[in-house]
Each structure stands twice: as structure tokens, then as C-alpha cells.
């Protein structure tokens, strides 16, 4: 009867298992263009990794009242409407540590060079905040690029952000790569303080270009102290947006352990474009040049993480060399002006100089370093002061010299000197700082004023060969 039924029901209800397994899930509402809209995922965090039932990992970016916009790293073909998504509870992080040196990894820190697993013990969040004001100290040690025009006129210190800006094919990447190769002389030495670990982040470049670059570093035996982070043009836009932050976290590991690191972002124009694509697909309102409103913050929060730490915080540093590609030399476009205002100076490369055979094609008039001169070595400070003055006067006079033929002796002298100094700043391979000082000294003291400009390169190599064989003690003093 009814009593029987109710007693059975009562038993069943009492025996019901009330323990719940809390696994926050959601369902895919729509998917397309690498963006999935997910319903559910109640307490998801911004930039948290969420996982599809297929095991595919994605990142949540838009947290809206009724749904979550997630971006897919890679192919979205495996995702269907109605698929179940679950939280991982982990914010995007990457492996860091010495084990990564000599390796090529993708934006999520997975090895892509076919040399097996990384074997890294530590992981670090990608989107960490920059150090505050108190842990920092002003830039004081030099970061030698091995390029005469840079080390003398726009010197870079450890912990500085120096922008490399110019049109395509003006040698921006070459300056960055030469700087990495130039660190070999310090990294092969025993002085730990001088060592500089390098990280090269390739954003939106061709795979062939990245492969070439890794080969060049390997041939120069510079790969052993370098990490290459690669998000190529064929990778999904979210990966190109993420790669600089991943590389930065790898660099911060050295910075926070009292070591010195250099990171190159090549290039941030591509990162901004990838971020614009993701933002527009997430339906965030566009601003100037259709970039989202927070594209300035995109770069400022990245570049602020480069810093020189004080003694109490280990005294390490992270130096950043972001690269920006301009269109037809237009430095006043949106992204270039943003990054110029964030960095501590810029190296401005010009196609016109490049085609004239002035390589590296640095426009020494427009390039500046706002903090680097306090990090120059004494000998270089002494010769570069005169070099700056001579070149500035030369630029002033060169404009007039085009019109008038009858120039007084003093003006002619300035022109002669300027032509020879410009010739002297050309170079092919990175040079040690003491060799640079010797060469520039010869130039600014007027020892080359009688020499044919075409013979200067020849003189330079003969002079250096002499100094290296006869004057080792002198070079050691300069150093």
C-alpha cells in the first residue's frame, strides 16, 4: 500500500548521497574565427586556461554578464556547439629557467626544436606585474651591442628599454642579432656579473626567417646562452599576442635571480595587429586605426617589466630591445608614437641611408638614448662626446653645402671631418668596446682628415690589427 511506498521512498531519500563534486563547467554557445562563446563557467578568472572535453586548452579573455569569450590557441575545427568546457583554475604560465637556454619554444613554452622535453622545474605566470618603484635603481652598467654607432652615440645600459624603429628591410633585426652575438665575449668569460642571457621573441615572422636566424646564432655559437620564443605568422593570433609576455617571464627569471638578461621583441607592430584581430573578434570597440583602446597598455605593461633591480633585490636586470616597423618612415603613426613614449630612447633606421651604403643605417640625428650615457665606460664617454659634436656640426653644414660652392676653410674642414666619421661608423661585424674606442679616437683627433674616405675601412682593419698585436696592455686599460 501507500505506507509501504512512502517508507521505501523515505529510505531512498535518507540514503541519497549528498556529497557533490564541484567542477565548474560550461557549454559552447558558438564557435568561429578562433573565438568560442561559452555559457556557464561561473567563477572563471580573466586569462585563465579552460579546457575542452577534447583536451584542447584555451584562454578566457572576455567575461561578460551572460557568457565568456575564450580564444583558441590553434585550430578550432575540433570544437562543436554544445561541447562541454571546464575550468582548470590555472592562469596561463610558462616554464622558466636555465634549462631553456639553447632551445626554441612556442608562445606557451613547448619545445618546437625537436630536441626533446625542456626539463624545466619552475613555471612562472605570463602576465605578472612590473616591479614597483622601490625595488628599482637607475641604469648604471653598459649593455655593449658591439655596434660603433650605438655604443658611442646611443649607448644602452642594463635595464633600459631602447626601441629599434625603421621601415622594412633596414636592418632592424640585424642590430638585435649582432647584439646577441656580441655577448659571446662576456658569456665565455668567467665574470658572472658581465654575463648576459638573451631571449629573442619572434612575432608574426615567416618560419623560414626564424629558422635562418636560429642557424645564424648556432653558427656564431651564441645559441647556448639564448632562448628563442617563436609565434610565427601561421600561428593563431592569440599566440602572437601572448609570445612577448611568455618571453618576458623567461627573462624575469634571470632578472629576479640577480642575473642579467636581454630580451628582443621582433616585432611589436605584429603583436599589436594580432591583438587588434583578437579584440575585434571579441567585439571590443575599436579606436584609432581600429586598434582597441587598451593597445597602449598592451605595450606599456610589457615594457615596464624591463628593469634594473637594486642590491636588496639581487641587483639583476632585464634590458628590452623592442622592434617597430614603420610604413614609409612614418614615425607619427599610432603604434610607433605609443612605443616611443614608453621606451627610454630609440634607434632610428632609414631606408635612404641603407641604400647609400651606410650600414648599420642609423640616423644619428634622430636616434637618442635617454639614460644610457650614465652607463658608458669612461674611455668611450671621452671620445663619444667629441664625436657627437662633430657629427652635429656636420649635419648643420651639410644642408648649406649643397647650395654654395665657395665655402670657407672652417666649413670645409667640418665637412671633411663629418664625411670621414660617417665612413668610420660603418661596420659589418660586432666589435669589442676597446677596439671601438681606439678607432673612434683616431677619427675625432683628426688623424684621418687627410685620408681618402674610400680607404678608411682598409685603414681601420690595418690599425686594429696593429693595436691588437702591439698594444694589448692599452686595450686592457680602456676596457
Which of 174, 191, 177, 298 has the alpha carbon at shortest distance from 248?
A: 298
Q: With 0-12 CB in 10 A as exposed, 13-18 as middle and 19+ as buried, what is 432?
A: middle
Eight-class DSSP state of 141: S
Helix (H, G, I), strand (E, B) or coil at 119: coil
CA 237/CA 235 separation, integer angstroms = 6
The answer to whether the CB of 456 falls within 8 A of the CB of 448 is yes
CA 433/CA 425 separation, integer angstroms = 13
CA 361/CA 370 separation, integer angstroms = 20
The answer to whether the CB of 50 falls within 8 A of the CB of 24 is no
CA 322/CA 305 separation, integer angstroms = 12
Residue 390 phi, psi dihedral angles, 5° rounding: -60, -45
Whether 395 is a known active-site residue: answer: no
Which of 290, 270, 295 has the alpha carbon at shortest distance from 280?
A: 290
Catalytic residue among 27, 370, 386, 395: 370
HEC assignment per residue over 46-65 = CCEEEEECCCCEEEEEEECC
Residues with catalytic function? 370
Amino acid at each position: 500500500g501507500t505506507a509501504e511506498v512512502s517508507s521505501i521512498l523515505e529510505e531512498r531519500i535518507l540514503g541519497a548521497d549528498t556529497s557533490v563534486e564541484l567542477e565548474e563547467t560550461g557549454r559552447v554557445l558558438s564557435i568561429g574565427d578562433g573565438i568560442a562563446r561559452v555559457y556557464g563557467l561561473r567563477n572563471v578568472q580573466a586569462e585563465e586556461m579552460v579546457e575542452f572535453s577534447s583536451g584542447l586548452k584555451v584562454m578566457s579573455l572576455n567575461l561578460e554578464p551572460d557568457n565568456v569569450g575564450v580564444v583558441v590557441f590553434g585550430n578550432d575545427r575540433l570544437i562543436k556547439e554544445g561541447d562541454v568546457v571546464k575550468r582548470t583554475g590555472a592562469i596561463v604560465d610558462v616554464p622558466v629557467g636555465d634549462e631553456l637556454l639553447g632551445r626554441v619554444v612556442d608562445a606557451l613554452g613547448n619545445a618546437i626544436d625537436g630536441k626533446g622535453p625542456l626539463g624545466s622545474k619552475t613555471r612562472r605566470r605570463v602576465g605578472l606585474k612590473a616591479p614597483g618603484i622601490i625595488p628599482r635603481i637607475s641604469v648604471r652598467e653598459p649593455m655593449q651591442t658591439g655596434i660603433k654607432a650605438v655604443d658611442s652615440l646611443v649607448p644602452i645600459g642594463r635595464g633600459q628599454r631602447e626601441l629599434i624603429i625603421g621601415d622594412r628591410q633596414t636592418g632592424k633585426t640585424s642590430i638585435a642579432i649582432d647584439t646577441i652575438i656580441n655577448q659571446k665575449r662576456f658569456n665565455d668569460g668567467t665574470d658572472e656579473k658581465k654575463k648576459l642571457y638573451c631571449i629573442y621573441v619572434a612575432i608574426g615572422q615567416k618560419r623560414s626567417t626564424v629558422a635562418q636566424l636560429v642557424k645564424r646564432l648556432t653558427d656564431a655559437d651564441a645559441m647556448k646562452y639564448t632562448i628563442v620564443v617563436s609565434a610565427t605568422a601561421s600561428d593563431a593570433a592569440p599566440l602572437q599576442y601572448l609570445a612577448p609576455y611568455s618571453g618576458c617571464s623567461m627573462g624575469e627569471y634571470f632578472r629576479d635571480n640577480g642575473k642579467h638578461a636581454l630580451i628582443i621583441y621582433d616585432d611589436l607592430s605584429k603583436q599589436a595587429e594580432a591583438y587588434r584581430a583578437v579584440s575585434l573578434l571579441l567585439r571590443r570597440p575599436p579606436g584609432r586605426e581600429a586598434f582597441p583602446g587598451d593597445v597602449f597598455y598592451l605595450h606599456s605593461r610589457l615594457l615596464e617589466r624591463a628593469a634594473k633591480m637594486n642590491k636588496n633585490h639581487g641587483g639583476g636586470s632585464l634590458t628590452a630591445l623592442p622592434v617597430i616597423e614603420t610604413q614609409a618612415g612614418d614615425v607619427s603613426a599610432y603604434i610607433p608614437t605609443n612605443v616611443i613614449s614608453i621606451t627610454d630612447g630609440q634607434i632610428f633606421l632609414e631606408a635612404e641611408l641603407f641604400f647609400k651604403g651606410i650600414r648599420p643605417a642609423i640616423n644619428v640625428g634622430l636616434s637618442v638614448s635617454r639614460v644610457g650615457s650614465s652607463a658608458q665606460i669612461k674611455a668611450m664617454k671621452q671620445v663619444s662626446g667629441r664625436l657627437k659634436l662633430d657629427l652635429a656640426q656636420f649635419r648643420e653644414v651639410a644642408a648649406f653645402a649643397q647650395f654654395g660652392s665657395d665655402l670657407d676653410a672652417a666649413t670645409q674642414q667640418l665637412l671633411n671631418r663629418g664625411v670621414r666619421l660617417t665612413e668610420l661608423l660603418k661596420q659589418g661585424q660586432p666589435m669589442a668596446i676597446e677596439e671601438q674606442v681606439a678607432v673612434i679616437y683616431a677619427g675625432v683627433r683628426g688623424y684621418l682628415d687627410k685620408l681618402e674616405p674610400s680607404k678608411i675601412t682598409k685603414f681601420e682593419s690595418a690599425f686594429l690589427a696593429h693595436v691588437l698585436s702591439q698594444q694589448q696592455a692599452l686595450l686592457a686599460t680602456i676596457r
